[in-house]
Amino acid sequence: MVLSIMLKYRTKMSKLSYFLIPCLFVFIMSCVSSEEIFDDNQAEIEQYLMENNLTSEVTSTGLHYVITTPGNFNYPTASDDVKVNYSGKYIDGWEFDSGVEAEFNLSNVIAGWTEGMQLISEGGSCILLIPASLGYGNSPPPSIRKNAVLIFEVDLLEIL
């Protein structure tokens, strides 16, 4: 009798462990603080800049940017519509998005774009190196890596 109870309990525990072990893994992984992710992102950006012989400016939020072409000194605001050519990639060079003559309202994009596009003037080009905290962070759309640094090369064609 005792043996049958133990076997029944063991079977239930075995089935329960299929649920508990993944939950425990997710819990442990979620304990990585946003500060640690930010620090890791900043280290990745610094390494990328060094490897690509780039010098960036950095904002108080941690956005790095390189102005490659200055433009006409007419800057967009956070609520402007803009027309751009762009490509988006990860630190490892894998391109996840691009657009030609794409139109965006800067209040409807990730925070790194909203902030970064205000630093480039019409007719100018830049490289935005966006930490996860200004990108998609821990909850990206399916096509974007979680907590990833995003690198965008952008030509600001026109403020609409």
Q: What rounded mean pLDDT belongs to the chain?
A: 88
User: What confidence tier does 25 reach under pLDDT thresholds 50, 70, 90?
Assistant: very low
Assess whether pLDDT exceeds 90 at residue 64.
yes
Tell me, what's the pLDDT at 31?
Answer: 57
CA distance 69 to 78: 21
Tell me, what's the pLDDT at 131?
Answer: 98
Which of 158, 109, 107 lies closest to 130, judged by CA? 109
Domain boundaries along the sequence of the chain = 1-31, 33-159
Give the mean pLDDT of 51-56: 98
- Residue range 33-159 in CATH 3.10.50.40: yes
CA distance 75 to 85: 16
Range with the lowest mean pLDDT among 12-21, 100-109, 132-141, 148-157?
12-21
User: What confidence tier does 90 reach under pLDDT thresholds 50, 70, 90?
Assistant: very high
